[in-house]
Chain A
Amino acid sequence: MQNKALNNLIETTPQLWKGRRVNHRQQTLSTGYARLDARLPGGGWPLGAVSEVIVRQPGLGELSLLSPVLSRIGEAGQWVVLVDPPWLPYPPALQARGIHLGRLLVVRSRNEQESLWACEQALASGRGGALMAWPERIPFSRLRRLQLAAQEHAKLAFLHRPERALEAPSPAALRLKLEPGGNRGTRVDLLKCRGSHPPDPAWIRFSEYANTPHHTSGHEPFAANAPRSLLAGRAPATPRAGSVHPRDAGTGDTGRGGRDGRAPRTDH
């Protein structure tokens, strides 16, 4: 009898980590990427939980990663709330990714405190739907509150966080990190999965351009109309490409000397 109660408790408590056994009680929504679903406990994004998406710099496919599930949420008539996106959402591109503009709410706050408050409000409103936010700094306790609100209201909560977020532990159910993965696309490292050991990374091509090899000299069709000056004087020792993230603006970011050492190109 006691055993049964205990088992019941174990089965119904998603927070409980049970060694190697995957806890299937976690409700999930498919990510839309088979390779990722295969690695995630429960086969998708954890519903009613915070998932952290960590990128060193934007433009690695962090929104493409979420597009399929955001699209499904919109189809179901549920809302996606963006709290303080660092950039402007561009409707034609979102439309093309299947994200329902009519189910998108954008919130602009004035400071970090308000931003976190807005996140909590968004998670504590109604049932279902998703939150996307880009918190700069967020204390463990606030993160935990978001996690609880998401759980109570069956929300998907996606926090886009900078790399230094990894220095602190997190109550999030899922933590994954995107890295440029050369011609294999983007490498998705699953750093923390509640309910299982972190699985191996997955490589996903989020963009048709992702497998375009570096150094464009061989790509006449694309580059044909580009001004000559583009092709001249390439590969400076220190790229001056500035970061596009507002938080890095004005920091005089010089990148990491030279181009990334990448796998040799394999054209096809």
Chain B
Amino acid sequence: MAATVERRERIIDCNPAAKACGIRPGLAVSAARAILDTLAVAERDPAAERDTLERLAAWCYQYSSQVCIPDDRDGLLLEAGASWRLFGSPQQLAQRLQRELGQLGYHTECGSAPTPEAAWLAAGQHLHISAQGRIRQQLGVLPLEQLALDTARIKAMERMGFRQLRDLLRLPRRTLTRRFGPSLPEYLDRLLGILPDPRLFYHPPEEFASRLELPAEIHACQALLFPLKRLLGELCGVLRGGDSAVQSVHISLGHEDHEDSTVQLGLQSPTQDTDRLVGVLRERLERLRLPQAVREIRLEAPHLLKLRAGQGTLFHDTSAEQRQDIEQLTERLQARLGNGAVAGITGVEDHRPEYSWRTRTLDEPARSTALAHRPAWLLPRPRRCAIQDYDILAGPERIESGWWDGRDCRRDYFVVRDPRGSLLWAFHEYKPKRGWFLHGIFA
């Protein structure tokens, strides 16, 4: 059970279990402890809250290009009208945000209204106000303490007998100014949309860094998957917001008294797809050895790359999709088997068969001359054989090459059949060794 505390040692928030025992926000910590001596109290960390809000702003940027972090309160304002066609009505968008942020581990309260101040109040009530004319009616019943005004002023108004927002709205503007100063009527005008309410919009960052302090130490690598998934999900939201992508992600795992363990996720191509990153992560974790329990996780993506048209999931064409699939497969395989374990092949201009191929990365083009009378498989190295055991079916084909690099050879190649019916490729070498060798299989 946990609760959050401010400087004056009051409970600010608590989880449902604490609530069930009678702990309420506003309670003094000493009183709360008296109710429940096992209460776990966590101190409030405003800097961390701000960081979180900023990350969430970056994440929300995928749904609205106008995101605002108000200085004086804990929440975000999003402009939802412009993205109506893409994401549906504000109500639908809110549901989506709640669902997706819930998956990232955040509890959210959403509401919408035609003006930012009204939307702020609506969020607390889970209201969706569709027209400016309805603000007065729908928010009028709100108690004054809900308004975004400082507490001293609200207390003063309550002493004068005002209880609800509509009590204030009923008064003429002049009276309000006289009693409470000009800022209150201005606030009400912004609330109702009579005065414009310009905001400073948030700009998504060029890099991403997020930190998660674990509520309990994690000893098993696989148990790291869940919190990391959450951080990667957050990262990908930010990437979608900024039309950007990552190709590498750096994860540091903090231990109590040991140097951080690090995990590097490298991809074949930039992505903003959580599943793809999680796929690579899963393999990495399987091979990770933890020197100690993990206490905190930091995830950094130092370079957010601009996503080029065609790279994203917006442009589907089978070949690009296939390419993505194979890249993801390659990443997963490499994460577990090692980078050298997965490769393409390509031909190399060399007459000596053993030097006429090499591995290639998927970015390199593959090319080769076509030689019809050659076997599909080469033995990893030529194997000495007794040629009298084989039927010679075709040959010889003279291959003489390599005098320039010191690996010169002179060979006559033959197609042979072994006693059991296999078609093989054998050569008689004159230089550097003498003798008969098997070199390939006509499979």
Stretch at the interface among B1-9, B77-85, B232-240, B333-341: B333-341
B285-316 toward A: CB 8 Å interface, digit per residue (1/0)?
00000000000000000000000000000000
Residues of B within 8 A of A258 (CB): 419
A187-211 toward B: CB 8 Å interface, digit per residue (1/0)?
0000000000000000000010110
- Docked-complex contact A87 and B380, CB < 8 angstroms: yes
Interface residues of A, Cβ cutoff 8 Å to B = 56-64, 76-79, 81, 85-97, 100-102, 104-110, 114, 117-118, 121-122, 125-129, 179-180, 207, 209-210, 212, 214-216, 219, 222-223, 225-227, 229-230, 232-234, 236, 239-242, 244, 246, 255-256, 258-260
- Docked-complex contact B326 and A209, CB < 8 angstroms: no
- Docked-complex contact A90 and B343, CB < 8 angstroms: no
Q: What is the CA–CA distance of A255 and B389 in the complex, to the nearest angstrom?
A: 10
- Docked-complex contact B367 and A101, CB < 8 angstroms: yes
Given contacts A90-B377, A216-B393, A222-B395, contact A209 B371 (CB under 8 A): no
Residues of B within 8 A of A216 (CB): 391-393
- Docked-complex contact B441 and A244, CB < 8 angstroms: yes
Interface centre among B325, B340, B441 (most CB of A within 10 A): B441
- Docked-complex contact A121 and B333, CB < 8 angstroms: yes
- Docked-complex contact A106 and B342, CB < 8 angstroms: yes
Q: Using a CB-CB cutoff of 8 Å, which residues 50-95 of chain B contact chain A?
A: none
Interface residues of B, Cβ cutoff 8 Å to A = 318-319, 321-322, 324-326, 328-330, 332-333, 336-337, 340-347, 353, 356-357, 359, 362, 365-372, 374-380, 383, 385-396, 412, 414-415, 417-424, 428, 438, 440-443
* Of the residues B325, B344, B383, contact of A106 by C-beta under 8 Å: B344
Q: What is the CA–CA distance of A222 and B416 in the complex, to the nearest angstrom?
A: 11
Q: What is the CA–CA distance of A232 and B386 in the complex, to the nearest angstrom?
A: 12
- Docked-complex contact A101 and B347, CB < 8 angstroms: yes
* Of the residues A62, A117, A229, contact of B336 by C-beta under 8 Å: A117
Q: What is the CA–CA distance of A242 and B426 in the complex, to the nearest angstrom?
A: 13
* Of the residues A63, A214, A226, contact of B395 by C-beta under 8 Å: A226
Residues of B within 8 A of A255 (CB): 389, 418-420
Residues of B within 8 A of A57 (CB): 418, 420-422
Nearest-neighbour CB distance to chain A for B51, whole angstroms, equals 36
Given contacts A91-B357, A256-B420, contact A58 B377 (CB under 8 A): yes
- Docked-complex contact B423 and A118, CB < 8 angstroms: no
Q: What is the CA–CA distance of A197 and B431 in the complex, to the nearest angstrom?
A: 55
Residues of A within 8 A of B385 (CB): 241-242
* Of the residues A63, A97, A117, A180, contact of B421 by C-beta under 8 Å: A180
